[in-house]
Structure 1
Amino acid sequence: MSYQNQPGWNVPPNPQQGVPPYSPSPYQTYPMAQLSMPGSVRAARMLAYIAAGLVVLGTVVTGAVAGPAAAGAALGSAIPVIGVFVCALCFARSGSGARVTAIVFASFVILFGLGALGRGIPAGIVQLGLGIAIVATLSQRQSGDWFRRPRR
């Protein structure tokens, strides 16, 4: 038997209370802590806001130049962007359903951007790039952890 003052006695580690030894995610460690939105989700949200702003601007310009029928066609072709925008409004408080829905809408944005490029519309490259960036940022592990976090 060894005592504290004898050689060979190892001091037991002082376990920290409330911290699990292994944490699979930084967003699951402290369920009651105030969490901030990760950068990838913020970036996806900002890209959705930018895409919606470009849709509004493009619809107004198209309506002023070519008339209301062309403005309606421009707005109709941007329905997936509007869907991503609505999902982005819910990123701070929603669960993984908002993330999955935004990824689906962003996939349609990619598809519509490819269609616009196929028709010879150069603005399709912007739509394509924004859609790819939104899908890429929402598909990261940090984004998934954010949407799986416990809610109050």
Structure 2
Amino acid sequence: MSFGDPNNPYGQQQGQQPGGQQPGYGYPQQAPQGVPQQGYGYPQAPPVQAGYGGFPGIPTEMPGGVKSARVMLYVIAGLQLIGAIIFAIAAAAVNAAKNDASLQEDVQFQELADYSGNALWGIVAFAVLWGVLAVFLAVKFGSGGNGIRITAMVFGVITAILGIYPFIVVGLVHTVLAILVVVFVAKSDGGSWFNRQQQPQY
């Protein structure tokens, strides 16, 4: 059987690949190895930025300033816990002094002890609740919306004011941390983070 006769309809044509498949009929020719392949008539599109739903410009990772504000909220909560313990010890000491037999007859001291003890226990309760609020806000930074942002700013302003008065010396650290929380959350990247499109919960 001759393969060299170009007029033989039953012979293998020149340039025909083994197996009977001819290039160019519905099958693209493979490019040589090492040569990048490109599509037919359509240039490659640039990669889409990662985001919720594939939309560009939406932050997918918490900005550094928001992360810092979150850490500062945890620090404020820790300081609130320490303050609550200190004021609880002071309230217990006042209560113990009030029950001292030698001071039972002193009416003025008893009135002062009652007032001081109640005030100290009130401060303890407020410190605990304020610390719980700080932890709640810090936890919600990952999934919360603009409401959490506004609440965090209000929390920071009130904490800064309380740090200035009446707890001037003790609250100085609170004041600095609270102001930084407000600044970091109020920045543009903080606004973008809290106003981002939330992923649907299933």
Q: One fold, TM greater than 0.5?
A: yes
Match of 2:181 among 131, 134, 144: 134
Gapped runs of 5+ residues in structure 1? 1-12, 20-27
CA–CA distance in structure 2, aligned partners of residues 78 and 56 of structure 1: 6
RMSD: 2.6
SS of 1:142's equivalent?
helix
Residue pair 1:109, 1:131 contacting (<8 A) in 2 also? yes
CA–CA distance in structure 2, aligned partners of residues 17 and 128 of structure 1: 45
Per-residue CA shift, 1:76-106, capped at 9, x if unaligned? 2675554333222111011111001110111
2:46 match? 16
1:145 match? 192
2:71 match? 46
1:107 match? 157
The two structures have a TM-score, normalised by structure 2, of: 0.54
SS of 1:100's equivalent?
helix
Pick 1 or 2: higher relative contact order, CA cutoff 8 A, min separation 6: 1
1:122 match? 169
SS of 1:54's equivalent?
helix
1:85 match? 135
SS of 2:169's equivalent?
coil
The two structures have a TM-score, normalised by structure 1, of: 0.70
Say which is worse superposed, 124-133 or 83-92, in terms of deviation.
Answer: 83-92
2:114 match? none
2:12 match? none
1:7 match? none
Gapped runs of 5+ residues in structure 2? 1-42, 50-54, 93-116
Aligned residue pair count: 127
Q: Summarize the Cα distance change of 1:116–1:78 in structure 2 as closer, same or farther, 3 Å threshold.
A: farther
SS of 1:116's equivalent?
coil
Say which is worse superposed, 59-68 or 104-113, in terms of deviation.
Answer: 59-68
CA–CA distance in structure 2, aligned partners of residues 17 and 58 of structure 1: 52
2:81 match? 56
